[in-house]
Amino acid sequence: MHMHRAFWMILLWIAMALPAAALPPTDKFFDPVSKQWVRYRISPEAAGAIAREKYKRQTIYYRSHEPRGTIIIDTGDRYLYYTLGNNRAVRYGIGVGREGFDWSGVEKISRKKKWPSWTPPPEMIQRQPDLPRFMPGGPKNPLGARALYLGSTLYRIHGTNEDWSIGRAVSSGCIRMLNEDVINLYNQVDIGAKVIVK
């Protein structure tokens, strides 16, 4: 009994002697993608780097009966699939509409635009009065490098200057992509291509 008690006393002493830095901090979590301890509130740059790694563009096996050139958007998994035929697709990471702004349906690509300008709709300005009324295309524009317009809706598949938003539900209903990914998709997609949002 005396040995058992001594063992626990020594173990307690060792635990108390460990420096606090050797223990994981309480305001951090272990991110399995980066294999590092990261703060709960990380910088947009760090969040963007994590999103780039986690949602990296890949050609994958993807079972679909849709013809080549169809875009299938899985908002729950935060991926866009561009079908290549023969059960293959290019998979891209995306950002989607936040709660209350999510949607589903079938549309067609009605227009394509390089470095699109942006005019926030009145409803968006009402929610965010600080927004500019118009912004020309360019690197600071939230629509990013390319835009694919969906039917006659206000929704688009577009780039973003906020890489950290990929993999998250933060938009007003548009589908966001990394700029290099939306350029890649833009170069493959034809006007009239079918888009399925689920």
> What residues are annotated to the active site?
158, 174
Cα separation, 97 vs 102, whole angstroms:
5
CB 58 within 8 A of CB 82: no
Distances (CA, A) of 120 to 106, 130, 139, 162: 23, 11, 17, 17
Strand partners for 74: 79
Structure tokens at 158: 């577009």
CA neighbours closer than 13 Å in the CB half-sphere of residue 163: 19
